[in-house]
Chain A
């Protein structure tokens, strides 16, 4: 079974979730609960770093959809960075880039928050 891991770190006022491995139907709840925890603690500026993500399934994408209105409704945003081409292709095909901001690096994603703030 492929492993999936989530690492959380703080950069400025932004929460960075680094997700690694396979994000599929089995691992989606882990990712979802990490995001829910951030929201419960009123952290609404979130960057999800896909640097180590090897695979994402529809259920994994569903997690992004399930939290976005709550985050934006509270004046924050969820930005995605460092997706490998294979992973980005999936986001792209389903039209995520029209709804979410994608960045090549974590820094540029954070910078975008700072500009807003």
Chain B
């Protein structure tokens, strides 16, 4: 008997203890939930617990949770559904605002009850925060087939209520994290941009700039197929390409000379020209980036698919436009730098040419008894190859020479140096003037190409006989004015120096009477143009001399240069002005 009572007492106690323990687990579950939910700001972990805790506690094998995303409730997590949950969205009025067990189609909640039955998730527990449904949990039946008790329903509801603020917090944190991640990505892009900009601006070689650009594109976008096509005026475009079939690319470009280029980077899929779009897609290109500078199209860049197969995002396209613009600026800088260098080099050359010319021209004008002589050279900006010289041969003989070397700058200056050296060597040999010029002609012929030549005039003044023997090798005929102003042209001689070897030059001979005036000049004088492109001309020159013939030769030369400058009136002159004037004093 006592054994039976003991048995009853034991059984009663055991049942009691079990109930207490179960209650304890229930409470500890809620405690665990509160603790977990409040300690976690990670939405995944919060949702995980909202499903796993009741499943463990109530022996449920399936669960799903939907959260409100803008206006629609969308699935966020499911458990025990092997294929995951179908992407069905619910609206707020599809859902009950208190726990609901669905056993058959409910007309009031038609959509959601259908869903519950189809997925065997009959128990709906809404998650409510401040009177609004922010989410909903669905649970399957208990695996032990027992119905949900009132306590258990309360437990689920408490859980849902406890989780509401945790979900909201976690969602906010999720959003902040997402924004942070975007910011980080932007910062990363900006950093890259900064690095590239630094690298780009530090280099002025266009090849290096292109290399840097390709590294940046490949590294930042994770691509290895690209093409950089640089248009250069009229010539074939320069293609730097990796991973694309160069032949097809060349054909696409030659078939589309006016490659439709947008302002900014563009997806190939959005290209307006359908045939071009298809050919580019066939090639494997995904993005077109225009290379533009001040409305000029400098080229295009094509990019292939990213290695991770992700599509190009709007921010990435923006980033690409920026990075390419940066490179274009560097390329332009490089071009301008090269131009400046070239200009500087030319300036330097001109400077050298000027120095050569200055050194070759007489530093001071020899004065000859009974005569008044002056010469000057007014070099143009580009330094023509004008030359004049006065060389004493002996006490009574003096050579007067003037010449114009073809070309400009250093080549002209060098040829002029050649002429001067040759002339001074040959003329001391005291030969006939036509032979002197013949030798000079051969010298110049041997030392130059056919496109280089010299117009040259030389005369030897005999100060006793007042005779003037001269040879004119294709130079503008000097004027000889007599005391009354009558002019004769000194034309005897032959062709320009350096064209035909062994050419037989002829010597002309004139008498220099008292008050006669000899004016030698280069074409820079007569061909000086004004802004209407009118030349100064021989007539004007002759008239000027007649008007000023009583002045000193120095004054005549200087006033003539003034007159020419007045005529030109600021129009750019491309040739030197050289004068050699001789007057027999009365």
Task: State which of B46-54, B191-199, B496-504, B505-513 sits at the interface with chain A.
Answer: B46-54
Does B62 lie within 8 Å of A69, measured CB to CB?
Answer: yes
B45 at the interface (CB under 8 A from A): yes
Q: Does A117 contact B (CB under 8 A)?
A: no
| Residue pair A94, B59 in contact (C-beta under 8 Å) | yes
A85 within 8 A of B: no
Q: Which one of A58, A67, A93 lies within 8 Å of B32 (CB-CB)?
A: A58
Main secondary structure of the interface of B (DSSP, over half): helix
User: Which of B33, B57, B62 contacts A61 (CB under 8 A)?
Assistant: B57
Let me know if B431 is at the binding interface, CB within 8 A. Answer: no
Per the bound structure, the CA–CA distance linking A58 and B22 in Å amounts to 12
Contacts of B60 in A (CB 8 A): 65
B36: which of A25, A32, A62, A98 is its contact (CB, 8 Å)?
A25
Say yes or no: A68-B48 contact (C-beta < 8 A), given A59-B53, A61-B55, A94-B59. Answer: no
Chain B hits for A62, CB < 8 A: 51-57, 79
Contact with B along A76-117 (1 / 0, CB 8 A): 000000000000011001111011000000000000000000
Specify which chain B residues have a CB less than 8 angstroms from the CB of A63 in the assembled complex. Answer: 52, 56
Cβ contacts under 8 Å, B54 to chain A: 58, 62
Q: How large is the interface on B (under 10, 10 to 19, 20 to 34, 35 or more residues)?
A: 20 to 34
A36 CB to closest chain B CB (Å) equals 10
Please indicate the chain A residues that have their CB under 8 angstroms from the CB of B21 in the complex.
89, 93
Nearest CB to that of A72 among chain B residues? B61
Interface string of B20-43 (1 = CB under 8 A from A): 011001001100110110000000
B144 contacts A by Cβ under 8 Å: yes
Q: How large is the interface on A (under 10, 10 to 19, 20 to 34, 35 or more residues)?
A: 20 to 34
- Closest Cβ of chain A to B106, distance in Å, is 25
Known contacts A73-B82, A90-B25, A94-B57; A59 and B18 CB within 8 A of each other: no
Residues of B within 8 A of A60 (CB): 52, 56
Q: Given that A65-B60, A90-B25, A93-B25 are contacting pairs, would A59 and B143 also be in contact in the complex, using a CB cutoff of 8 Å?
A: no
CA distance A61 to B59 in the complex (A): 8
Tell me, yes or no, whether B80 is within 8 Å of chain A by CB: yes
Query: How far apart sit A70 and B56, CA to CA, in the bound complex (Å)?
Result: 16
- Top 6 nearest A-B pairs (CB, nearest first) are A61-B56, A62-B52, A62-B56, A62-B55, A66-B79, A25-B36
Mind listing 24 A-B residue pairs with CB under 8 Å? A25-B49, A25-B52, A32-B48, A58-B54, A58-B57, A59-B32, A60-B56, A61-B57, A62-B52, A62-B55, A62-B56, A63-B52, A63-B56, A65-B61, A65-B143, A66-B52, A66-B55, A66-B62, A66-B79, A69-B61, A69-B82, A89-B21, A98-B144, A99-B59
